[in-house]
Structure 1
């Protein structure tokens, strides 16, 4: 199975569930990206002392991009409209989550470049 086929199967919900599975996957990935971005911004600001800020920022951007791509693929392959049970509304909600994760990661990356390491 190629990577494109795997993404299509994931976006369509795969063989493990109904049409909402792909949207729920995209929502989960987007939420994880937002959480990573938020924690990375806290790391750059000095509120927490764990992990590398640059690695966290790049991770938040990558996870946010993956969530956005999954949501767009789900929208492109779903039939019906909102209210049909195919996860259209969930996929639409997952797109801003992925974008927010990418924005938080970018902000953290920019801030980590400006800070001078103390240790």
Structure 2
């Protein structure tokens, strides 16, 4: 096994990471697919908040509180990047006044 069970990606971290990747792609390519970055980043952030709220111990106790915080931060980054990409794509698609 390449990764031990402690270092596997949870659903929240996976969704958050996908949201950030899609957000960066949206910023670079000016596509309208950046809505997925907002949705997946928000889902990852919500799962991260749920993990943090439900954890009964601190870091190192095995409840996943550190992973929950990571998921929360990366999810919010995905939402921000997706929002920026959506705004940039809308501005590029808007007709220019001459």
Scaled by the length of structure 2, what TM-score is found?
0.82
CA contact (8 A) 1:34 1:60 kept: yes
Q: Deviations over 1:64-95 (max 9, x none)?
A: 00000000011111211111011111111111
Q: Which runs of 4+ in 1 moved over 2 A?
A: 18-21
Q: Deviations over 1:39-60 (max 9, x none)?
A: 111111xxxxxxxx22x11110
**How many equivalent residue pairs?**
90
Residue in structure 1 matched with residue 13 of structure 2 by the alignment: 27
CA contact (8 A) 1:26 1:67 kept: yes
CA-based RMSD of the aligned residues comes to 2.1
**Residue of 38, 50, 58 corresponding to 1:73:** 50
Residues in 2 aligned to 1:19 and 1:86: alpha-carbon distance in whole angstroms = 11
Summarize the alignment of residues 1-119 of structure 1 with structure 2, pairs less than 5 Å apart: 24-44=10-30, 53-54=31-32, 56-116=33-93
Scaled by the length of structure 1, what TM-score is found?
0.68
Residues in 1 aligned to 2:36 and 2:68: alpha-carbon distance in whole angstroms = 21
Residue in structure 2 matched with residue 50 of structure 1 by the alignment: none
